[in-house]
Every structure is written in C-alpha cells, then in structure tokens.
Amino acid sequence: MPITVELPEALARHSGGNKEISASGTTVAEALENLWQSHPDLRSRVVDKSGRIYPYLVVFHNGRRLAPEEAPATELADGDRLEIMTLAGGG
C-alpha cells in the first residue's frame, strides 16, 4: 500500500534530494524498511543500530505526532502521509 514520506532538507540530501518519497507497508516500521531499500543512506540518519528513531527526530502520521514507542507499530492505510522532522534546538 503506497504512502508518502516527507523528509526535511537535512535528510533529503541522502535521498537524492527528494523531499517526498513513496514507500509501502502496513506499519510505520514496514514503510521505513521499504524506504531503506531504495535509499539505504537514510537508515543510519533516522534510526540507531537497534532500530529506534533518534530522539532528535519526530514522526507525524497524517499530521498527528507519534510518540517514539508507538511509531513503529502504527498502522498505515493507502494514501497515508508520514513526516519526519528534526526538533528545533534552542536555549
């Protein structure tokens, strides 16, 4: 089932400059695995060696922010949209 993954500029550099990429999967974890197949350089920039999404990244599913622990198992439907965003630092 096709979904769209939207990337920030910092990650798009590792996807051939593509800010929007089609992927498929029934869960976020499956969609990310599909994304790594076509853009393997993204994997090490989005997830750590154990497969957890880095804490400085936030994943949105159809505009709703996903908690890190719920993101991998979140179910997807045809046409859904995932956004991967970097947290803004400050202080």
What would the pLDDT profile of 21-70 be if each residue is shown by its tens digit?
999 999 999 999 999 999 999 999 999 998 899 999 999 999 999 998 89
pTM of the full structure: 0.88
Distance CA 59, CA 73 (A): 12
- Does residue 91 have a pLDDT over 70? no
Question: Is residue 21 within 8 Å of 28, Cβ to Cβ?
Answer: no
pLDDT on residue 89: 62
Report residue 90's pLDDT band, with 50, 70 and 90 as the boundaries.
Answer: low
pLDDT on residue 51: 87
Q: C-alpha angle 35/80/25, rounded to 5°?
A: 40
- What domains lie within the chain, and their CATH numbers? 2-86 (3.10.20.30)
In the structure, how many helices (H) and strands (E) does the chain have? 3, 5
pLDDT on residue 24: 96
pLDDT on residue 87: 84
Say which range, 5-9, 35-39, 86-90, has the weakest mean pLDDT.
Answer: 86-90
